[in-house]
Amino acid sequence: MSGILITFCVLAFITVLTAFLTIFSRNPIHSAIYLVICFFSIAGHYFLLNSQFLAVVHIIVYSGAIMILFLFTIMLMNLNERHEVHRPRITRLGAIVSFVLVCVVLIAIFINSKPIVGEYDATGEDFQSINVLGKILLNEYMVPFEFASILLLVAMIGTVLLSKKEKLKK
């Protein structure tokens, strides 16, 4: 077996294992750590696909920013306490039925999908280049790029306003 195939198999094993550990871990802090490891292994898959920019952005955005938000939320909500309210059986049954229905729909979509048949048009342009990506983002997609930044700014301001405690009036 080649080195790339061995690396892929190891990364796939780590990804699947840490995804299951994220779901089945009882401690929320451990779940967050397993999710970070899962994100890093997915970034390794991007490196294997020769998409270095996407891998680095994935590490910065998901493993960095999103996981910090998850950890702050877990710490602020104090989810590590053991006196959690038990869910009624009807809620568990509803969750199981919803999960099974979503799985059936996804499997049906996967079975009924057809592969794209046709020629691949090679333009010779390297779309993995950061230079090309920057030109596309700042020329063709400038308005959606700016809308996304405004949306993130508004969400951040809303989060700060919601987290502020009201001062007691004297």
Tokens of 128: 């993995």
The span from the CA of 139 to the CA of 133, in Å, is 10
Q: Tell me what pLDDT residue 15 has.
A: 94
- Sketch the domain layout of the chain as residue ranges: 1-81, 127-165
Q: Which of 72, 69, 70, 10 is nearest to 40 (CA)?
A: 10
Q: Tell me what pLDDT residue 52 has.
A: 82
Tokens of 81: 């306490």
Q: Tell me what pLDDT residue 43 has.
A: 92
CB 62 within 8 A of CB 53: no
Q: What is the CATH number of domain 1-81?
A: 1.20.120.1200
Class of residue 22 by CB neighbours under 10 A (exposed 0-12, middle 13-18, buried 19+): middle
Other Cβ atoms closer than 10 A to 118: 6
The span from the CA of 48 to the CA of 55, in Å, is 9
Q: Tell me what pLDDT residue 164 has.
A: 66
Residues of the chain where predicted confidence (pLDDT) is lower than 50: none
Q: Tell me what pLDDT residue 128 has.
A: 66
Q: Tell me what pLDDT residue 21 has.
A: 92
The span from the CA of 137 to the CA of 149, in Å, is 13
Class of residue 35 by CB neighbours under 10 A (exposed 0-12, middle 13-18, buried 19+): buried
State pTM to two decimals: 0.57
